[in-house]
């Protein structure tokens, strides 16, 4: 299987994604595109779409639970970098579980990170 996040995206359509305003200020070293944010309070911005009754980050591409990706992956806020997929590095992730369950997806298990049968096995030689 591919990386589970690429067929998920649930956490990008569940939480309010809030972070310090400086993360969207280039002169402060920020990387988040400001036009994709909105003011939350004097100290914080939020990714547009994530404060809605049914949140969905404006930067999320694709369909949750099928094929999803972050359109600003290299520029995403710090909070996005901190959400770890459950068990990728051997530890649980309550945020990942909560978001997946809310979207009708099963929580990840350690088995989801095992190589599929045949992984790493060289392909058979092709017959002429």
Q: Does 57 bind ligand SF4 (CB under 6 A)?
A: yes
- Candidates 20-28, 37-45, 76-84, 113-121; binding stretch for ligand SF4 (CB under 6 A): 76-84
- Binding of residue 87 to ligand SF4 (CB under 6 A): no
Structure tokens belonging to residue 52: 């809605």
Options 48, 70, 92, 102; binder of ligand SF4; rule CB under 6 A: 70
Residue 96 as a binder of ligand SF4 (CB under 6 A): the answer is yes
CB of 29 to ligand SF4, least distance (A): 17
C-beta contacts of 101-108 below 8 A and 24+ residues apart? 102/10, 102/14, 103/10, 103/13, 103/14, 103/64, 103/65, 104/65, 105/8, 105/10, 105/65, 108/4
């Amino acid at each position: 299987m591919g990386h589970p996040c690429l067929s998920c995206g649930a956490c990008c359509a569940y939480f309010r994604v809030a972070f310090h305003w400086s993360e969207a200020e280039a002169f402060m070293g920020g990387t988040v595109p400001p036009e994709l944010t909105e003011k939350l309070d004097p100290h914080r911005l939020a990714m547009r779409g994530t404060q809605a009754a049914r949140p969905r980050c404006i930067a999320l591409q694709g369909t949750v639970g099928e094929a999803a990706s972050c359109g600003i992956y290299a520029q995403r806020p710090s909070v996005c970098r901190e959400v770890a997929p459950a068990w990728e590095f051997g530890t649980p992730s309550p945020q990942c579980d909560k978001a997946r369950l809310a979207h009708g997806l099963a929580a990840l298990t350690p088995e989801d990170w095992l190589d599929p049968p045949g992984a790493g096995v060289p392909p058979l030689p092709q017959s002429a």
